[in-house]
A = this chain, B = another copy of it.
Amino acid sequence: MSDPIDFYFDFSSPYGYFGAERIDALAQELGREVRWHAILLGPMFKATGSSPTVQVPVKGAYARHDMLRTAELNGIAFRVPEPFPISTVACARIALYLEALDFSIARRFAKRALRAYYVDNVNIGEKSAALRLAGESGADSAEVAAAIESQPLKDRLRAANDAALARGVFGSPFVIVDDEPFWGFDRFDAMRTWMKRRASHADLSSIR
């Protein structure tokens, strides 16, 4: 079995949500497993001197329209949530905690939280909402509530985010497969083509 695909996303990233809705099917098509990583874009924006796109003059208006169009073209249920963007520290901690505990509950939580935010306009930046969704995903809410306040988990999330950044991750979604990085939902098709060409031993040596 080949190495899994590393899938990085921030809960406050619409394109990360689109990626989350598609990455498992794409991985299956490529015969790979997926490792999900909830990241925090805040520190990454700092490292790259960036801002949330919707807050950038001129580009922000375009981005809002492009999100809606991308969802429409891909048949993904979506509305621009309000408030947006939000802090995703609680969700990211929950995802990290569940990942170590029960892989399938973690995945269920991530997808459920993303849909709650981007379809049902639930503010998952609020800890209470995030914990409720963890419970609905099969986790013990009280246990999770305690865990996400613990210093070791906070430290682990910071370390995981630093490790992602050190690996070159700076946006959401971001996928790394066999050391090949793909930034953005708009690179999923390129990823598919790339992987299939590699599988058929096409000569891609010129750019490796």
Contact = CB atoms under 8 A, between A and B. Distances in A.
A199 interface: no
B207 A69 contact: yes
A73 B186 contact: no
Interface residues of A, number: 35
Contacts of A18: none
B181 A72 contact: no
Interface in A156-197: 165, 168, 170-171, 181, 183-184, 186-187, 189-190, 193-194
B49 A56 contact: yes
Nearest to A44: B58
A196 to B, nearest CB: 11
Interface of A is mostly: helix
A70 B70 CA distance: 20
B48 A56 contact: yes
A68 B205 CA distance: 11
A57 interface: yes
Given A51-B49, A65-B181, A207-B68, A58 B187 contact: no
A104 interface: no
Contact of A48 (B44, B57, B193): B57
A204 B50 CA distance: 32
Contacts of A68: 206-207
A207 B68 CA distance: 6
Contacts of A59: 48, 50, 170-171
A89 to B, nearest CB: 21
A187 B66 CA distance: 10
A92 to B, nearest CB: 19
26 contacts: A44-B58, A47-B58, A48-B58, A48-B59, A49-B51, A49-B57, A50-B56, A58-B170, A59-B170, A59-B171, A62-B181, A62-B183, A66-B183, A68-B206, A68-B207, A69-B207, A72-B204, A72-B206, A72-B207, A73-B190, A73-B193, A73-B194, A186-B186, A186-B187, A186-B190, A189-B189
